[in-house]
Amino acid sequence: MRFVFNRLGKRELVTSLMVLIFIGLFILPFVVVTVKSFSVGWRFPELLPQAYSLNGWRNIFGDPSLKESIVTTLKVGFYVVLLNLLLSLPAAKVLSTYSFKGKSMIETFLLSPILIPGILLAMGLQFTMIQFGLADQVSGVVLVHLIPTLPYAIRIMRAGYERLGIALGEQASVLGAGPFIRFFTLSLPLLLPSIRSLMLLTFVISLGQYALTAIIGGGNVITLPLLYYPYFSSSNEAVVAGFSILFALLPLLFIGGVEILLRLVIRAVNRV
């Protein structure tokens, strides 16, 4: 970013201003919340905290139910992301490559989970899930988290495959690479930006589900959001702030771990 205002034209000035507005609106609040999580009793009408301490964070990590909940949340998120990848990769590839009768109908149908109220579907599925022993289980929660995530996953991968095109794959196949090798040497590295977006978005959406998790998890599967609501009305504001930051940190942690793994795989298959 350049903040050198002299020698800038009107257009650059407007852009820089807009960037500042964007940062002020969307990034600054995070800084404030981070500061708040380290503050002591920062209340109306103080504009800045009067004292700082680690008490808020100590409280958060001292709560044993929270540790357990982080593990559950990561587990649910991991399976949701994995399932989304497995379902969306083949579907997106076909949708981007072939045109066939009824394609737009299928596309609309695949988008429908985010158009129909998720809470309605979860309520509708609850009884059956109980019958099949999926309710009150991580597996049931993972399944129901597919509702708000799968359409995005398919959409993201589809756009990725469309950008990739089919020519490079054909070139690889005439050079002797089978479908399996083609996926690991071409699709995976070249679709990495899309895969990264998919994993981040589906993880974040899964992380943000309260109602679906509560309905299907039935109080047995305690993910972080289920703890957040009681915390929200608690009096210790530093704890709520710290908890909020935790929600932004978890996806970063997750995506960081997966990224390292993916890069190792790609490095391994693409050596000279």
Partner 1 sequence: MNGQNGFLNNKKRVVFNLLPALAATLLLVGYGMWSAIAQSFQSVDGEWTMASYLELFNSLAFFHSLKLTFRVAILSTLLALVIGLVMTRMLYQFFRDSSSKVLVWIPILIPHFVAGYLVYLFFSQSGLFSSLFYQLGVLDHRAEFPVLVQEKFGIGMILTYVWKEVPFVILMLLPVYYEIDHRYSEVVRTLGGNKWDVFRSVELPWLLPVMVETGLILIAFIASAFEIPYLLGVTRPEMLSVRAYEWFYDGDWSKRPLAFSAMILPGVMALLLAIFCIGAVQKHRLRMIKGRNR
Partner 2 sequence: MNQLLQCKNMSKHFSKVPILQNISFHVRSGEHFTIVGPSGCGKTTLLRCLAGLEDISGGEIWLKQKSIVTLKPEERSVVLMFQDSLLFPHLTVIENVTYGLKRRKMKKKERVSEAEQMLMKVKLLHLRNAYPHELSGGQKQRVSLARALVLKPDLLLLDEPFSSLDASLRESLRGEVKELLREENITALFITHDRDEAIEMGDRLAVMNKGTFIQIGEPFDVVTNPSSIESARIIGEGLALEAGFIPLNKVIAIPAEQKPSEKDYVFVQGKVKAVTVKNNLPCYRVTFDQGSILAVSDRNLVVGQNVLLSAKREDMKKYKNQEEQWRRVQ
Sites for partner 2 among residues 132-191 (CB under 8 A): 167-168, 170-178, 181, 185-186, 189-190
| Cβ neighbour number for residue 146 with a 10 Å cutoff | 19
Minimum distance, C-beta of residue 177 to partner 2, in the bound complex (Å) = 5
18 binding partner (options partner 1, partner 2, none; Cβ < 5 to 8 Å by kind):
partner 1
Per-residue binding string, partner 2, 187-206, x by CB under 8 A, is --xx----------------
Token pair listed for 230: 């009681």
State which H helix or E strand residue 51 sits in.
Answer: strand 51-52
Task: Name the residue with tokens 């990848």.
Answer: 85
**Does the footprint of partner 1 cover residue 234 (CB under 8 A)?**
no
**Does the footprint of partner 1 cover residue 252 (CB under 8 A)?**
yes
CA distances in angstroms from 271 to 169, 171, 175, 185, 264, listed in the order given: 18, 18, 16, 10, 11
CA distances in angstroms from 260 to 71, 158, 214, 221, 253, listed in the order given: 20, 24, 33, 29, 11
Minimum distance, C-beta of residue 147 to partner 1, in the bound complex (Å) = 5
Q: CA 198, CA 209: separation in Å to the nearest integer?
A: 17
Minimum distance, C-beta of residue 126 to partner 1, in the bound complex (Å) = 8
Token pair listed for 112: 């429908």
Minimum distance, C-beta of residue 103 to partner 2, in the bound complex (Å) = 15
Q: Which of 3, 10, 27, 167 binds partner 1 (CB under 8 A)?
A: 27
Nearer residue to partner 1 within complex by CB, 186 or 194: 194
Q: Which of 128, 171, 220, 270 binds partner 1 (CB under 8 A)?
A: 128
Q: Which of 227, 230, 242, 250 is nearest to 57 (CA)?
A: 242
- Which residues of the chain form contacts with partner 2 (CB under 8 A)? 167-168, 170-178, 181, 185-186, 189-190, 270-272
